[in-house]
Each structure stands twice: as structure tokens, then as C-alpha cells.
Amino acid sequence: MGIFKDGWDAFVTPVREFNDGDQSCEAELQATNNATGHTITYYGSTQNLHGHAEIDALYQFLKSIGWNVANFNGYTLTIHCTAKPCCKYCASVMGNLGIFATGGTFKSTKSMGISYALPYEVRNFLRNILVVTNETILSELSQ
């Protein structure tokens, strides 16, 4: 029950608890256009102040498609994040959006510190695609 658990379960990758101790992290999101087969890679970083690296990469991709749900459905997405596991919130967001994990990308049951945040635009997109309220997203996918 709930979008957190649905997303967590849908993000199929092993649970691995490790942390290199560094706050910063980088992630790559590969977006393949299903019609053309063309892939673009978005490089996410905690430096860009959109929260965790996975969320930053997602932010960049969603911005590129105009935050549009119909456009979104024309892509297959894969996240590559090997420096540290995806925190429980990022893992759930990835799962909720049907994003696949590459080998070497793991998920963690932990929240991974205070730098996690869901930018307003990402929250709004989740609300539209999952057809849930903003309150649900705030209560389930934010710390």
C-alpha cells in the first residue's frame, strides 16, 4: 500500500548498505527515446541543489521534455549510480517512474542525510503521473 512501498518494490535492484562517507554523489540517467532508439545521458550531481544526484539527473531529463507526462511515456529510463546506493526515497521515486537500475546500482533502506529534497517541479510531475495529492507525496516521499 502507498506510493512509497509501490515505488520501492518496483525499483528492482539488490539492497546494499554502504556509504563512502562523502556527502556528494553523482548519478547518470540514460533516457532512450522509444521511437528513435536515441539515448541521451543526463549527469546528476548533488552540486546542482536539486537534492540527491538521482533526483538532479531526473530533474534535467524532465525539464528537457517540458515536464510532460505524454512525452515521458515515450522514453525508457535507466539510472546508474555506483558511488553509493540510492537512498530509500530516491529508490522509491525511481520505482514510481518505472526507471530501471543498471548493474552495480543498489538501493538502501536508509534516508542518506539531509541533502535529499524533491524539487517543486519534480513533486508536481509525480503528482500528475501518479494521480495523487501533493500531501501524499510530501508525507511518503519526503523526510
Establish if 50 lies at the interface with Zn ion (CB under 5 A). Answer: no
Rounded to an integer, what is the distance from CA 61 to the centroid of its chain?
Answer: 11
Establish if 52 lies at the interface with Zn ion (CB under 5 A). Answer: yes
Q: Which range binds Zn ion by CB under 5 A, 22-30, 42-50, 87-95, 119-127?
A: 87-95
Nearer to Zn ion, 52 or 72 (CB): 52
Angle ∠(35,39,43) on CA atoms, nearest 5: 140
Considering the complex, what minimum distance in angstroms separates the CB of residue 67 from Zn ion?
Answer: 20
Quick one: angle between helices 53-64 and 120-130, nearest 10?
A: 70
Establish if 88 lies at the interface with Zn ion (CB under 5 A). Answer: no
Radius of gyration in angstroms for the set of CA atoms belonging to the chain, rounded to a whole number: 14
Spatial CB neighbours of 140, under 8 Å, sequence gap ≥ 6: 2, 3, 4, 92
Task: Using the CB atoms, write b or e for 18-34: b if 16+ within 10 Å.
Answer: eeeeeeebbbbbbbeee
- Pick from 25, 29, 87, 126 the residue near Zn ion by CB under 5 A: 87
Nearer to Zn ion, 68 or 111 (CB): 111
Q: Which range binds Zn ion by CB under 5 A, 29-37, 50-58, 59-67, 92-100?
A: 50-58
Query: Residue 65 CB: number of other CB atoms within 10 A?
Result: 17
Considering the complex, what minimum distance in angstroms separates the CB of residue 143 from Zn ion?
Answer: 10
Residues 107-136, interacting with Zn ion (CB under 5 A):
116
Binding residues for Zn ion, rule: CB under 5 A, are 52, 87, 90, 116
